[in-house]
Chain A
């Protein structure tokens, strides 16, 4: 077999992921439609939201995989425009409201509604989505998302009251993260790697975006921070 005939495996995966994403999107839509038809008491006892949110987690993984494939092949480009962080946070809260209600987690926002910033909407939503998903798994009773401008950066923080990040993760570099996939715990840290890579793409003059993991914060749990120039 010559070199030319060998399949480019990452491309094979990428196109499979693309297909999966499309069918998952159809699946999600049908699930939602079905759930609407169900009687209310059935919905409560059978926890239908779990179906939706697990499907969405898969979706967000697929989005990240595609994103990373595009990033590696320099096909990922940003569509930076002006957005209101408060609007986007409210959207995320609306999105997760029913799941958090089920889990009895309190979710709140602290952000100036008129604060405007420049970034790629879909990409940053992807990052937030993942961070919120993650926080929801480890927090105990509450999560707060805050956004403010600080020293020329937009700073978005997600505080939870869980046990915080393990120290190995706090000290890891993006390279460590992607190589430390742990099949036993099911934590691939893919989300953190994705977040690191795509926030870095946000540039303004000589500054670029980044993320930070820390412990403590408002509730003494984990804090996930995004900085965007």
Chain B
């Protein structure tokens, strides 16, 4: 059929994998692709792979042909911006007509797209302005491209001008989005939030708007709103894996373990066959499920624990070459068993892992996982030793240090940590109201849940130094010294180390006076 349209060089591939092999070595002017490609990758995953690996230039055409009308498929595919989207059933004259239109547009705009591919942005910008002058059918394409180019080179002032101009005539989604992005670039985050929110009010299906909105919420420190926004987006378009990963990560930071689990479940489910199918996805899901099921031996808790074991097992078969990943999986599984009060199974898994672990030569990832599991099995001293070793070994890597710190502070389960956080919060509120005895009570309650938390211990000491001046109650100094004792072990890389040194001196002084 295609050769009758005048195409000279046509190649066919019966799967995305075979097609990608061809695209690795050659660029094609036009790629026609069905969404449904049988087993293996689908059309969207193929397009994603091409875009991520830069095997599609601006001067090429990627046309998706699909019979799918399901919203999540349509929205998901559109997110990867194919040049054309043709719905089935299609007849030969229609295909010919559509191809001719797309080819004509590509030809007419080739001189601009070529400059964009070569990253000659200023040249591309002036070519766009020229084309606008000529008053062709590509005026709106030129405005859209100009806006993007100005944003790319960081010229938000000119970008805003373009978008204002366009929006004065009509509410057009790309211009509304562009306006928000320009505001974000100018660090006017509140205004950007407003702009993206009004875009979504205009049309809640503009998926990118959720991503940008969430990003601005994060810049403003609103982690909960950022999470909620991403949740709205994945409800509409669940197949975009990087977004699901972001959501999983963010929900974990927000201690929303159920949301994190759901996000990672999707990452694993939709990641199959895609470029995102990584061992880390399974580990993240395993960790979440382990945290969720911990200490819950009801039927639903057991179900989640079983899911964790299954996910980790499928990792071990799928990524059997990845030694660290398999090791981590074994360590997580040990925690799942202890969470279900099955000490025997947990210790067996730990022993299995230990056979491969050399404690002197640990990677950061395995080290962290290992100490977490040791904590859960009650081997606190050993865990602490490993963590302090990691802190010394990776002292320049702030990511790792902050994770070490977190574990040293709060080796307890997520549920315990959440309780401690609440008491800590009310302690701080009481302290701010100058209700010192109430503050001490709250911090003590928090310490019952996470006794090793450095900042928490130092909080109570700080309140005591103030309260002691009034009450002179010797019991207070005992409490303070107990707290100091509990956090003696923190390494100098810990962000509370200096504060501890300082408060230690203050308490020592107060104790000396008493004598």
Binding site for B on A (CB under 8 A): 18, 21-22, 24-25, 28-29, 32, 52, 56, 59, 66, 75, 77-80, 82, 84, 87, 90-91, 94-95, 97-98, 113-114, 116, 118, 122, 204-205
Question: B93–A116 contact, CB under 8 A?
Answer: no
Asked if B89 CB lies within 8 Å of chain A CBs, one says yes
A139 to chain B, nearest CB (A): 20
Chain A residue contacts of B88, Cβ below 8 A:
25, 29
Identity of the chain A residue whose Cβ is nearest the Cβ of B67 in the assembled complex: A25
CB distance from B235 to the nearest CB of A (A): 13
- Tell me the bound Cα distance from A169 to B74 in angstroms: 36
Contacting B171 at CB < 8 Å: which of A52, A90, A204? A204
Residues of B in contact with A (beta carbons under 8 Å apart): 67, 69, 71, 74, 78, 87-89, 91-94, 96-98, 101, 136-137, 139-140, 170-173, 203-205
Q: Are B89 and A113 in contact (CB under 8 A)?
A: no
With a cutoff of 8 Å between Cβ atoms, the chain A residues found around residue B172 in the complex are 82, 118
Q: Closest approach, in angstroms, between the C-beta of A227 and any C-beta of chain B?
A: 16
Answer whether A52 and B91 are a contact pair too, CB < 8 Å, given A114-B136, A116-B140, A205-B171: yes
Contact A29 B89 (CB under 8 A): yes
CB within 8 A of A56: which of B89, B92, B137, B140? B89
Report Cα–Cα, A113/B205, bound state, in Å.
30
Which one, B92, B97, B173, B204, contacts A32 given CB within 8 A?
Answer: B92
Select which of A79, A82, A84 is within 8 A of B78 by beta carbon. Answer: A79
B96 cross-chain contacts in A, Cβ below 8 A: 94
- Can you name 10 A-B pairs with beta carbons within 8 Å? A22-B67, A77-B205, A78-B203, A84-B137, A94-B94, A95-B91, A95-B94, A98-B93, A204-B171, A205-B171
Contact B69 A66 (CB under 8 A): yes
Which of B71, B78, B101 has the most CB atoms of chain A within a 10 A radius of its CB? B101
Please, how many angstroms separate the alpha-carbon atoms of A131 and B203 in the complex? 28
Which residues of B sit under 8 angstroms from A18, Cβ to Cβ? Answer: 69
Bound-state Cα–Cα, A204 to B69, Å: 25
Within the assembled complex, what's the spacing in Å between the Cα atoms of A116 and B387?
Answer: 64
Q: A29-B88, A77-B203, A79-B78 are in contact. List 12 more A-B contacts (CB 8 A).
A: A77-B204, A78-B203, A80-B203, A91-B101, A94-B93, A94-B96, A94-B97, A95-B91, A97-B93, A98-B93, A114-B136, A116-B137
A95 to B101, CA, bound (A): 15
How far is A7 from B67 in the complex, measured between Cα atoms in Å? 27
Partner of A122, one of B87, B93, B140, B204: B87
Name the one of B74, B93, B94, B204 contacting A79, with C-beta atoms under 8 angstroms: B74
Closest 5 pairs (CB-CB, A-B): A94-B93, A114-B137, A91-B97, A28-B89, A94-B97
Complex CA–CA separation, A82 to B138 (angstroms): 11
Complex Cα gap A116–B137 (Å): 7
CB distance from A124 to the nearest CB of B (A): 13
| Residues of chain B contacted by A79 (CB below 8 angstroms) | 74, 78, 205
